Amino acid sequence: MSELEGHSVSLYQQEWSRTAKRLKAASKLIPALAALARFKSTSSASSLKERISELIPEKAAEVKEVKQKYGDRVLGENTVNMAYGGMRGIKGMVWDTSLLDANEGIRFRGLSIPEVQEQLPKPKGASETTPEALFWLLLTGEIPTATQTQSITDELNSRASLPQFVEELIDRCPSTLHPMSQLSLAVNALQHDSQFAKAYHAGINRKDYWDPVYEDSLNLLAKLPLVASRIYRNVFKDGKHGTIDSAADYSQNFASLLGYGENREFADLMRLYLVIHSDHEGGNVSAHTTHLVGSALSDPYLSFAAGLNGLAGPLHGLANQEVLRWVLDMQEKIGTDTPTEDQIRDYCWATLNSGRVVPGYGHAVLRKTDPRYMAQREFALKHLPEDKLFKTVSNMYKVVPGVLTEHGKTKNPWPNVDAHSGVLLRHFGLVEQDFYTVLFGVSRAFGVLSQLIWDRALGFSIERPKSLTTEAIRKMFEKQ
């Protein structure tokens, strides 16, 4: 073994050990964040909407106090490089549903992904929790009971139907129109029935904005599996469409509508996928765009459609399919579906030397292995340990960080969530890569709509940061 190979293996072993320890002891490492979650509600509220109504005065008082005590305090510095570099690192917005730590990864209302998997209710016979349970947590900061989780499932199932004109609109789309374009188109069309838009036109009191925004958000969440599956069946399958099973949870219904419902492991994968992709604090493109457009009092349909258009970008939601394409191209060019670590290393260097990046590695904020990657890896080790593509991805985890470290141009050489999701979907037969971002979009709705409800409940202002010209920046510092 060469010195470089030994270094790569050592890096992999050290990171695997550190990551496992971090994830198991996360609540001990950051007790202040873990304490943010109200683990059990003492409220007698019978519904999520009623519970939110109870929490609004409490949260509004908290925001008022924070603004009164700390309103003129400085959150952080703002440099010229930040202004030119996509505002990366600027602390300039409030997003209460999740917080991303550079070393520990995402926390949903203070809970790490392993804690969410362990503590939130699971459907009978399932090994993963549900986006319905996460939705309750994101909106209330409380871990729901099984009964409360079921109430969300029932509520979504009762709202799951599409207007005929929306079905016809999707059906008339050419199969060559990208699935994300079709999804955005359909969500915009669903705006026809926006309760917030109608209430605003009728003159609703601004203190009550959150109520129709909540109703729109629940309606949109309920309809997304029908929209997404209709696109999938039209573009990639036989154009035949299923119906909602009122006794099934959200992910089981989505799996069935796609045509994979009889596979219990795939339904569990959908639960995991929809949970871990739901929210990643507010600065990413899809979350920030939804928040920005919503701040103009655009309804949830218009706001989320805008977020979807951001998600469709190659630097955001399309990354997962780019990872899978890179891996498959590597296998094809090398001439084997079981490349060795040396072959992977050589291909990585060839990619970097050609001026391209190795997709799925690195993150704008994270500086360690993404816990969402680890959650998918654990799922694969449990359900598909002998899958050849998974073994290749595992070998990449051993090799790529060492290559990127030696290359010296990547701040974080560790894998992110996109490095794994395509492999899992492909294993179960969902091989149509252009559809992967649609799945991401369905998941992301749970996070961004949760925060949008609170944006309106707390009366957040329209977003309007200050911009400068290059000449203005030059003059600002030349005067000094």
Residue of 241, 277, 291, 363 marked active site: 363
Residue of 316, 383, 407, 434 marked active site: 316
Annotated catalytic residue 418: yes
Q: For residue 229, report the phi and psi dihedrals to the nearest 5 degrees.
A: -70, -35
In angstroms, the first-to-last Cα distance of the chain is 56
Q: What number of other Cβ atoms are within 10 A of residue 355's Cβ?
A: 6
CA angle in degrees (0–180, nearest 5) for 422-424-430: 75
User: Locate tokens 């917080």: which residue?
Assistant: 99
The whole-angstrom separation of Cα 167 and Cα 180 is: 16
Residue of 249, 299, 418, 455 marked active site: 418
Helix and strand element counts for the chain (H, E): 23, 3
> Quick one: which H or E segment has residue 107?
strand 105-108
Burial of 227 (0-12, 13-18, 19+ CB in 10 A): buried
Annotated catalytic residue 316: yes
Burial of 8 (0-12, 13-18, 19+ CB in 10 A): buried
Q: Which of 35, 453, 462 is nearest to 221 (CA)?
A: 453
Burial 449-479 (b: 16+ CB within 10 A, else e): bbbbbbbbbbebeeeeeeeeeeeeeeeeeee
For the chain, the 3-state helix, strand and coil shares in percent, each to the nearest 5, are 65, 5, 35
The whole-angstrom separation of Cα 405 and Cα 103 is: 17
How distant, in Å, are the alpha carbons of 27, 50, 226, 405 from that of 162?
A: 42, 26, 7, 50
> Quick one: which H or E segment has residue 218?
helix 210-236
Q: Which residues are catalytic?
A: 316, 363, 418
